[in-house]
Amino acid sequence: MRKRTLVKWILVLVVIIAGIGSYTTRSKRATNQQSITAVGSTALQPLVEAASEQYSAEHSGIFINVQGGGSGTGLSQIESGAVQMGNSDLFAQEKAGIDPQHLVDHKIAVVGVAPIVNKKVGVTRLTTSQLIAIFTGKVKNWRAVGGKNIPITLINRTQGSGTRVTFEKYALKGHSSAVAQEQDSSGTVRQIVSSTPGAVSYVSFSYINKDVQPISIDGVSPTERNVMLNHWKIWAYEHIYTNGKPTGLTKKFLNYLQTKHIQTTLFNKLGYISVKDMHYQRTWKGQLSKESGVA
Amino acid sequence: MNRMQKQSQVAMGLLRAIAGFVVLILAFLIGYIFITGLPNISWKFLTSPAKAFSAGGGIGIQLFNSFYLLILAMLISLPIALGASIYLNEYAKDNWFTSTIRTAIEILSSLPSVVVGLFGFLLFVVQYNFGFSIISGALTLTIFNLPLLTRNIEEALASVADDQRQGGLGLGLSKYETIIHIVVPAALPGIISGIILCSGRVFGEAAALIYTAGQSAPALNFADWNPFNIDSPLSPLRPAETLAVHIWKINSEGIMPDLTKVSSGSAAVLVLAILIFNLSARYIGRKVFEKMTSMD
Amino acid sequence: MQTIFDTQSNERFIYHFNPEENSIEMQTKDLEISYGKTLAMQHADIQFKKNTITALIGPSGSGKSTFLRALNRMNDDVATVKGQILYQGVNINQPGIDVYEVRRRIGMVFQRPNPFAKSIYDNVTFALQRRGVHNKKVLDEVVETTLKQAAVWDQVKDSLHKSALSLSGGQAQRVCIARVLAVKPDVLLLDEPASALDPVSTSQLEQTLRELKPNYTIIIVTHNMQQAARLSDYTVFFNLGEAIEYNKTRKIFTRPKIQLTDDYVSGNFG
Amino acid sequence: MQNQKLAKQLMKKSKTARYERFGRLLCLSALLLIMVIVIGIIAFIATKGMSTFMKDHISMKDFFTGTIWNPGAKTPSGHAAVGALPMIVGSFLVTILAAILSTPFAIGTAVYMTEISPKRGAKILQPVTELLVGIPSVVYGFIGLSVVVPFVRNTFGGSGFGILSGTFVLFVMILPTIVSMTVDSLKSVPTYYRQASLALGATKWQTIWKVVLRAASPGILTAVVFGMARAFGEALAVQMVIGNASLMPHNLVSPASTLTSVLTAGMGNTVMGSLQNDALWSLALVLLAMSLFFNLLVHFIGKKGAFSK
């Protein structure tokens, strides 16, 4: 018993010494390390994360912490100043409960959104009015729009999701989708559409793969080229917001995201469209102006 | 009498069938996870870092994070849960106040973990400014874990026969000494299985961690074990995506081409890890128990 | 010698020792025990003589175990105890008394053998270790003396570091007695210590108690009237929460003063 | 006098007594810490959840009886579209059905593990059930999506998404919890109960049914409550198979939603402090209130059971 007490004290001592030792010998980098945090949109997360890794690799002692959490979280956290960058799929103005006054928008990329259907419905093209009829629940069977005799299963993204807002605004011309199944992630939506007969939903271009059938609207197919020319109307910006003008590391990193190197390599891999390649710009209210390049 | 015997036989048969059916379900589940997952597991998969959008990513860091967070969360929550369950089981009088506490704890355990996660987010990440970090995650997991752990330990303590306690008291020992040195060791098998149960839950938890430990796993320098350096694996202030969070993330937003492979492989690794964890915890528990019951 | 005959009812007879006699180890005065609102024991005025064995007998629910447990305040958490409990003249049922010290001096052995999930050695030395005795020599000696006193040394001396859970009932019970002896009590309280034992173990246990008598004051609750008759010097008969008769054992079993006692010891009820 | 010396010795606070006070305090503070956390979370959810009614002035009636969920918008009849009824009904149905379905299975399995074949139970079933607790919900969800949903679609019709699929997935998910806790409570029934019953000539089945299960019933009830609690709080898995549509369920195979699924899905997409966000916290508050209700109900049943025994 007494031996045990001794052992206990020795252990405590060792831990303390180890603690002091490791504190004093901590790497010199630690003292001049810089770290910033980006939070928000899960759609933008992979891009920012990949860019931050490259940036950290190129600049030692820099630490960029990229988290998801959703656009709502991104905007609330940047508004409250808890983080340095807030990632969002939507304009801050489009989001209820956000005061956009102090927020500075940095449009990082453009994503296209396309309707997708289960491969067995036998439909590859629709008109806008057909699409609206389907999503508002007026048409209930694929036969009515030239497909097979399969009932339509509607799958929505969650209310407030950027993809859904974009889709309702530009594909359904402002109509709200009928109340139906909701899923809160693109991956799940794709999985459900690919496995459920008669399912229809919408995802951003990067999620389209061989398991699902993308739909052309009014004869325009969902391609990046068509988005750049605004022939394909269903697209949106990916934003990084800062609280006030960006400074220091945040500014450097945002600039880094705009470099040609990143925009050509990472963007292509992820299926994003560079803002520079766009022939048009759009305000949050949807007004178009024929200008290319970044703001 | 004969009819009774027959009834008993039928009932026994039914019970066996039920148990068999449950085993079948469980076997199917585990089989499904392993069959889809195991072929994707390789040494490289287990050790290399994840890739966001190209094939061939691994889960090395996530695996380490999962274990590290689990250990931290357990280190924090175990003493608290033990103390609380001792109080509830041994000291608290059986009155409305105690039952209110019990009810409150039970209710807490039914909250969706995302709520606990958001609570942790607002408290630790934002309020205390710990950021998306291991420490935020571990504290949130502690909150998530405490109710069930307390409950399980209390159950284990309650199953120790009263004469053990009286034996201690009859020797002039304090209640506390009796509990710590006699009741707790006697309850150890039950406590360990409670810990295993909770560890499994913690290990597989995603929603509570998304907003606290974060969903990114920056590269770690496995040569540097100084917890004060931010790229050290031990650093409590680095963000740490766990395996369960990783599975959740790639399933919901992943765009890498080998998504299903990574996802099913990760799930199999997770289940495997829990299996190994369970077996070793059991083994250690038995050893500890043997040690306590034989030699000092 | 002085006896008090309860004149209020002819149904009680409580033997009292001469107050000058300095050999009373324990004594209760007007003890009243209740569980919540239920009264479990009242008017208990019993004296226990030093270095004797006193048996407490009575039918189930007569309060004998409750009474025994009150003597070293084991009932503290569950029951309310009123009245005085004198131990060597000191009232131990008063606030400020350190119950742990009381229980050390007045040890208790229980109905079912309850060895701890530890080795035999640790079972015996545990309480001492908790009280800060760590000297191995001292502990070894205590283990040997107490196990010898409890008459179990020869059977376990080669397996002291084996788990006490592996012992048979009789051996376990005697290890439990050794465990109590290790803290050097003055009084031993035993609550039906033989009820879970076979006849051979029981007679060994009784022999052990006889051997302990010169050094300890022993109070034993028993269901077994033969056991009370052959083992004890004094006997208290309880019924329905009252001490009905207290006298020398010989008298209780041969010439009880109270009819109820007669009925009980001759097996008419209980 | 010797008497006084002894009295002094007995009146002195011994080391043991101090140790006892210290230990008791330690345990109490652990419990208080948990209480602070519990109260903190409950207060946190309550304030957040009440602000829908206090700050945003939504009427309770609209919230609890409305069937259209689109916070921020108006229903066609001009009320605020924060009708939580579909989710409440959905949560209720899924939880109750899953509990009803899994309780007999869990009890059967637990009885098998403790009464019929303890060896096999300890060797195979217990590790397996403990293993299952650790499988992340998202994996359950995906297995549900690829196995249960098609099964329900092909067997019962509909799209496969709905209460029924949710029930099946939850059934498997809460099974381990209920089984292991039931096993614990069965084990704590003293062996002599069984022996006494068998000695009276009761068959094994009668012993199990009339003695063991009866004696363990409070523990089993607790196990079921905990199972239901898990079902209640479960989000990710249910969300994938229930369809997650805030519609009143008209049958078991039509898409529905639960409080947790809507809550989890919506949290990241709303802005803290906005009506949309507050409404989600109100759902959390409802969840809290409902599990309180269940809890009290079971305690009540447990007490009744204890009396009739």
Top mean pLDDT of A19-28, B78-87, D212-221 is at B78-87
Q: Which residues pair with A157 in a beta bridge?
A: A183
Distance from CA of A3 to the nearest CA of C (A): 10
Q: Which residues of A touch B52 (CB under 8 A)?
A: 46, 49-50
Query: Searching chain D, which residue's CA lies closest to the CA of residue B70?
Result: D134
Is residue D228 domain-resident?
yes
The span from the CA of B275 to the CA of C8, in Å, is 74
* A33–D contact, CB cutoff 8 A: no
How are beta strands D69-74 and C242-248 bridged, if at all? unpaired
Distance from CA of C98 to the nearest CA of D (A): 6
Q: Which residues pair with D69 in a beta bridge?
A: D82
Q: Which of A130-134, B212-216, C248-252 has the lowest mean pLDDT?
A: B212-216
pLDDT at position B291 is 65
Q: Which residues of B touch D137 (CB under 8 A)?
A: 204, 206-207
pLDDT in tens, B116-140: 888 898 888 888 888 888 999 999 9
pLDDT at position C108 is 92
Interface of A with D in 235-294 (CB under 8 A): none
Q: Which residues of A touch B127 (CB under 8 A)?
A: none
Number of domains in chain D: 1
Average pLDDT over residues A150-178: 89
Is residue A84 domain-resident?
yes
Domain containing A106 equals: 37-111+236-290
Distance from CA of C134 to the nearest CA of A (A): 6
**Three-class DSSP category at B111:** coil
Phi-psi sector, D117: left (phi>0), alpha (psi -120 to 50), beta? beta
CATH number of residue D191's parent domain: 1.10.3720.10
Q: Which residue, chain included where needed, has tokens 């005959």?
A: C5
Q: How confident is the model at residue B1 (pLDDT cuts 50, 70, 90)?
A: low
CATH number of residue A148's parent domain: 3.40.190.10
Q: Which residues pair with A51 in a beta bridge?
A: none
CB of B196 closer than 8 Å to CB of B277: yes
- Please report, in angstroms and rounded to a whole number, the separation of the first and last CA atoms in chain D: 57
Structure tokens at B76: 């924090």
Rounded percentage of chain A residues whose pLDDT exceeds 90: 28
Q: Which residues pair with C217 in a beta bridge?
A: C187
Is residue A93 domain-resident?
yes
Structure tokens at A39: 């939070």
Average pLDDT over residues D167-184: 88
The span from the CA of C94 to the CA of C83, in Å, is 9
Mapping DSSP onto H, E and C, the string for chain D reads CHHHHHHHHHHCCCHHHHHHHHHHHHHHHHHHHHHHHHHHHHHHHHHHHHHHHHCCCCCHHHHHHCCCEEEEEECCCCCEEECCHHHHHHHHHHHHHHHHHHHHHHHHHHHHHHHHCHHHHHHHHHHHHHHHHCCCHHHHHHHHHHHHHHHHHHHHCCCCCCHHHHHHHHHHHHHHHHHHHHHHHHHCCCHHHHHHHHHCCCCHHHHHHHHHHHHHHHHHHHHHHHHHHHHHHCCHHHHHHCECCCCCCCCCCCCECCHHHHHHHHHCCCCCCCHHHHHHHHHHHHHHHHHHHHHHHHHHHHHHHHHHC
The span from the CA of C247 to the CA of D233, in Å, is 67
pLDDT at B255 exceeding the cut of 80: no
Number of domains in chain A: 2
Could you say which of D145, D159, D276 has the minimum Cβ distance to residue A153? D159
pLDDT at D308 exceeding the cut of 50: no
pLDDT at position C139 is 92
Could you say which of B111, B148, B197 has the minimum Cβ distance to residue D130? B197
Contact A75 D271 (CB under 8 A): yes
Contact A191 D145 (CB under 8 A): yes
Q: How confident is the model at residue D42 (pLDDT cuts 50, 70, 90)?
A: confident
Distance from CA of C126 to the nearest CA of D (A): 14
- The matching CATH number, chosen from 3.40.50.970, 3.40.50.300, 3.40.50.10490, 2.60.40.1180, for C13-265 is 3.40.50.300
Is the model more confident about B251 or about A203? A203
Q: Give the phi and the psi of residue C61 in degrees, each rounded to 5.
A: 80, 10
Q: Which residues of D touch C97 (CB under 8 A)?
A: 10-11
Residues A177 and A267 in one domain: no
Count of beta carbons in the 10 Å neighbourhood of residue D301 = 15
Q: How confident is the model at residue D45 (pLDDT cuts 50, 70, 90)?
A: confident
Contact B226 A22 (CB under 8 A): yes
Residues A102 and A248 in one domain: yes
Query: Searching chain A, which residue's CA lies closest to the CA of residue C136?
Result: A1
Q: How confident is the model at residue D136 (pLDDT cuts 50, 70, 90)?
A: confident
Interface of C with A in 121-150 (CB under 8 A): 129, 134
Is residue A1 domain-resident?
no
Average pLDDT over residues D62-67: 82
Could you say which of C101, C118, C127 has the minimum Cβ distance to residue B292? C118
Residues A191 and A251 in one domain: no
For chains A and D, CB pairs below 8 A equal 107
pLDDT at B256 exceeding the cut of 80: no
Is residue D3 domain-resident?
no
pLDDT at A23 exceeding the cut of 80: no
Q: How far is CA D184 from the centre of its chain?
A: 17
Q: How confident is the model at residue D146 (pLDDT cuts 50, 70, 90)?
A: confident
pLDDT at position C3 is 44
Is residue A267 domain-resident?
yes
Count helices and strands in chain C by DSSP H and E runs: 10, 13
Distance from CA of A74 to the nearest CA of B (A): 11
Count helices and strands in chain B by DSSP H and E runs: 12, 0
Q: Which residues of B touch A73 (CB under 8 A)?
A: 211
How are beta strands C53-57 and C217-221 bridged, if at all? parallel
Average pLDDT over residues A102-123: 91
CB of C247 closer than 8 Å to CB of C257: yes
Interface of C with B in 66-105 (CB under 8 A): 72, 74, 100-105
pLDDT at D214 exceeding the cut of 90: no
Mapping DSSP onto H, E and C, the string for C128-173 reads HHHCCCCCHHHHHHHHHHHHHHCCCHHHHHHHCCCEHHHCCHHHHH
pLDDT at A295 exceeding the cut of 60: no
Is residue D157 domain-resident?
yes
pLDDT at position A248 is 85
pLDDT at position B69 is 92
Contact B193 D132 (CB under 8 A): no
Best residue of B230, B231, B237, B246 to probe chain A, by most A CBs closer than 10 Å: B230
Could you say which of A33, A67, A269 has the minimum Cβ distance to residue B216? A67
pLDDT at position D309 is 36
Is residue D35 domain-resident?
no
Q: How confident is the model at residue A199 (pLDDT cuts 50, 70, 90)?
A: very high
Which chains does A contact via 3+ CB–CB distances below 8 A? B, C, D
Average pLDDT over residues A223-237: 91
The span from the CA of B127 to the CA of B123, in Å, is 5
Could you say which of D35, D187, D203 has the minimum Cβ distance to residue B101? D35
Distance from CA of D232 to the nearest CA of C (A): 39
Residue type, B160: V
The span from the CA of A247 to the CA of A253, in Å, is 10
Q: Which residues of B touch D208 (CB under 8 A)?
A: 11
Residues A116 and A191 in one domain: yes
Q: How confident is the model at residue A134 (pLDDT cuts 50, 70, 90)?
A: very high
Structure tokens at A132: 């609206």
Average pLDDT over residues A95-124: 89
pTM here is: 0.83
**Three-class DSSP category at B22:** helix
Distance from CA of C86 to the nearest CA of D (A): 11
pLDDT at position B142 is 93
Q: Which residues of D touch A69 (CB under 8 A)?
A: 268
The span from the CA of C136 to the CA of C142, in Å, is 10
How are beta strands A181-183 and A85-88 bridged, if at all? unpaired
* A181–D contact, CB cutoff 8 A: yes
CB of C227 closer than 8 Å to CB of C242: no
Q: Which residues of B touch C165 (CB under 8 A)?
A: 293
Domain containing D130 equals: 82-305
Residue type, D185: S
* D191–C contact, CB cutoff 8 A: no
- Where along chain C do its domains lie? 13-265
Per-residue pLDDT of chain C (270 residues; tens, 9 = 90+): 344 444 445 578 888 887 766 788 899 998 999 988 888 888 888 999 999 999 999 998 888 999 999 998 988 878 889 999 999 888 998 888 888 889 999 999 988 888 988 889 999 999 898 888 888 999 999 999 999 888 889 899 898 888 888 888 888 998 999 999 999 899 999 998 888 888 888 888 899 899 999 999 999 999 888 899 999 999 999 988 889 999 999 999 998 888 888 888 888 776
CB of C239 closer than 8 Å to CB of C59: yes
Query: Searching chain A, which residue's CA lies closest to the CA of residue D144?
Result: A192
Contact B163 C183 (CB under 8 A): no
Q: Which residues pair with C53 in a beta bridge?
A: C218
* C102–D contact, CB cutoff 8 A: yes
Distance from CA of D159 to the nearest CA of A (A): 7
Spatial CB neighbours of B132, under 8 Å, sequence gap ≥ 6: A37, A39, A65, A67, B125, B211, B212, B213, B214, B216, B239
Strands (E), chain A: 34-40, 62-69, 85-88, 103-117, 125-126, 153-157, 181-183, 199-204, 213-214, 216-217, 235-243, 273-274, 281-282, 288-289
pLDDT at position B293 is 59
Q: Residue B13: enclosing H or E segment and its boundaries?
A: helix B2-37
Residues A58 and A160 in one domain: no
